[in-house]
DNA sequence: TAGTGGTCTAGACCACATA
DNA sequence: ATGTGGTCTAGACCACTAG
């Protein structure tokens, strides 16, 4: 409930953590880059190395930073192999997960529906980029995605640009638009396929589909993507771990 | 891939962690109970308090232990309010989550299907307890669960005993059968309701349902429950956070 | 060889709960 | 007043990486 800087009194290590996030947000260190060593950060913030360590530990646990022994601490990037499947929970029932292939059907600037606009924190006058794409796995359509992005942040995003890019979508967003997704909330339900979706996905109208509604956030809990995906779950499933 | 004790060479704090888990598994400290203080554990294991602290930190992060400042560290229990909804990801679209009501339809000793038996690590000769129950929220059926448990561990579990108990199922398992669930894997897919499920859940046959297949584990990564739930997701959704 | 993160320790002090 | 966990520090040593 409380905003990012609601807690005024916080332990030192958490204040350091927040300072580091602010630096990341400001782009002082970009995804994939090395951040200063713990000793250097300790000197800069006038705290002990142990306090910096605890701050960095938290950020590493949240996947904002990646520690590599002997090399240093790096800003997490969606281009790294280990991050590839972090936001893709759809897995084949048998065999290993392989990279999916995207087929972009549509990419336009639109006035977003009110519910989408409010989730993105857009004013009534602001536009959004709307993307429709089909995700293919093993050559077959598996997910039909509708994606909304804040227009101001994603100026110049076109279908051609999407098609020219190869790799994970969040990698493109990170590199070309300076927007790094760090967290996402998802809501899942089962729905019946309408005629349009059925056609795209190659199933019968009325067939059960898994609807995944996602809101993605960047540094500072700012929502920057709303996604609505319809998934065929006959040979794939959505996996999750409860701890 | 690697078993619980595959890593022979491990940092001290991890060895301490594993020792603590072994003690929990052995029932030395039961759910809800206070474990010895950090200083006492440090003395017992001949390490510094800082090392014990790091071991306990890990177990607290995994929800095996609960720290309470000024009071001590306690073994996590499914009876605590904070644990109530940890394994229930189905939430109403509007309004707050309320405790669900169980209606037990069936409880028998059975020879489990081979896939269930293998997931529970049961030999061909071993039996299982099979439970069917309906979960009601706001007075309406929302989930139809089928649950399999290892027969040997759940001797004496009957429909009457289930009906007599009020509270979360995992609380009963913990208190009456000494089995504490600490983790669960889930696989989700959308399926069409068959006639039987449709009747129980009050939906049309063929209606889309969310199928949740769960395997639950106790200390030491031992699978002790397989669950297959069919959920009506018209007014409820399954929520998840990707980090 | 030098620099990085990873582990372990010891001790001081703070915040909270209980008697 | 006492005991608990929570924070912060300082320093030693280890393990890994790279020039």
CA distance A183 to A200: 29
Give the global pTM: 0.93
Q: Each residue of A105-157: pLDDT tens digit?
A: 999 999 999 999 999 999 999 999 999 999 999 999 999 999 999 999 999 99
Kindly report the number of other CB atoms within 10 A of residue A63's CB atom.
Answer: 15
Q: Tell me what pLDDT residue A5 has.
A: 38
**Which tokens hold the place of B150?**
């290892």
Confidence tier at B186 by pLDDT (50, 70, 90): very high
Tell if the CB–CB gap between B190 and A183 is shorter than 8 Å.
Answer: no
Kindly report the number of other CB atoms within 10 A of residue A119's CB atom.
Answer: 17
Dmax of chain A from CA atoms?
A: 64
Q: Tell me what pLDDT residue B8 has.
A: 57
- Strand C neighbours with CB under 7 A? A 35, 37-40, 50, 53, 67-73; B 11-14, 47-51, 54, 68-71
Q: Each residue of B92-110: pLDDT tens digit?
A: 999 999 889 999 999 999 9
Please, which positions of strand C sit below 7 A from a protein CB? 3-11, 15-18
In terms of CA atoms, which chain B residue is nearest residue A216? B242
Report residues of chain A scoring pLDDT below 50.
1-7
Q: Is the pLDDT of residue B146 over 70?
A: yes
* A165 Cβ under 8 Å from any chain B Cβ: no
Domains of chain B: 12-75 (1.10.10.10), 81-238 (3.40.1410.10)
Nucleotide with minimal C1' distance from the CA of A56 is C5
The mean pLDDT of B215-233, rounded to a whole number, is 97
Confidence tier at B195 by pLDDT (50, 70, 90): very high
Q: Which residues of B36-71 are buried (b: 16+ CB within 10 A; e: fewer)?
A: bebeebbeebebeeebbbbbbebbeeeebbbeeeee
Kindly report the number of other CB atoms within 10 A of residue B159's CB atom.
Answer: 15
How many angstroms is C1' of D17 away from CA of A74? 15
Kindly report the nearest CA distance between residue B178 and chain A, in angstroms: 19
Tell if the CB–CB gap between B239 and A184 is shorter than 8 Å.
Answer: no
DSSP-based three-state secondary structure for A126: coil
Of residues B167 and A226, which shows the higher confidence score?
A226
CA distance B37 to B14: 18
How many angstroms is C1' of C12 away from CA of A48? 14
User: Which run of H or E residues covers position A43?
Assistant: helix A38-45
CB pairs under 8 A between A and B: 105
How many angstroms is C1' of D19 away from CA of B232? 62
In terms of CA atoms, which chain A residue is nearest residue B92? A187
Adjacent-strand bridge partners of B103 = B134
User: Which run of H or E residues covers position A147?
Assistant: strand A140-150
CA distance B116 to B147: 10
Would you list the DSSP string of chain B?
A: ---TT--SS--HHHHHHHHHHHHHHHTSS-TTPBPPPHHHHHHHHTS-HHHHHHHHHHHHHTTSEEEETTTEEEE--TTSGGGTTTT--EEESSS-----EEEEEEEEEE---HHHHHHHT--TT--EEEEEEEEEETTEEEEEEEEEEETTTTTT--HHHHHH--S-HHHHHHHHH-----EEEEEEEEEE--HHHHHHHTS-TT-EEEEEEEEEEEGGGEEEEEEEEEE--SSEEEEEEE-
* A53 Cβ under 8 Å from any chain B Cβ: no
What does the mean pLDDT of chain B come to?
Answer: 95
Tokens 């560290």, residue located: B73
């Amino acid at each position: 409930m409380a905003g990012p800087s609601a807690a005024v009194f916080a332990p030192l290590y958490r204040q350091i953590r927040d300072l580091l996030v602010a630096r990341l947000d400001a782009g002082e260190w970009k995804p994939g880059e090395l951040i200063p060593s713990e000793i250097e950060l300790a000197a800069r913030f006038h705290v002990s190395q142990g306090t910096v360590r605890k701050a960095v530990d938290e950020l590493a646990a949240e996947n904002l930073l990646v520690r590599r022994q002997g090399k240093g601490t790096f800003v997490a990037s969606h281009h790294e192999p280990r991050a590839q499947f972090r936001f893709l929970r759809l897995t084949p029932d048998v065999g290993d997960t392989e990279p999916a292939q995207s087929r972009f059907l549509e990419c336009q600037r639109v006035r977003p529906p009110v519910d989408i606009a409010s989730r993105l924190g857009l004013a009534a006058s602001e536009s959004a980029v709307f993307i429709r794409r089909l995700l293919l796995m093993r050559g077959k359509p598996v997910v039909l995605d509708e994606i909304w992005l804040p227009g101001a942040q994603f100026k110049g995003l076109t279908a051609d640009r999407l098609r020219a890019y190869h790799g994970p979508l969040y990698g493109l967003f990170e590199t070309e638009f300076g927007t790094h997704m760090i967290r996402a909330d998802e809501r899942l339900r089962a729905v019946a396929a309408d005629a349009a979706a059925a056609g795209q996905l190659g199933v019968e109208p009325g067939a059960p589909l898994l609807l995944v509604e996602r809101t993605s956030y960047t540094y500072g809990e700012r929502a920057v993507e709303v996604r609505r995906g319809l998934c065929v779950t006959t040979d794939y499933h959505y996996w999750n771990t409860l701890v």
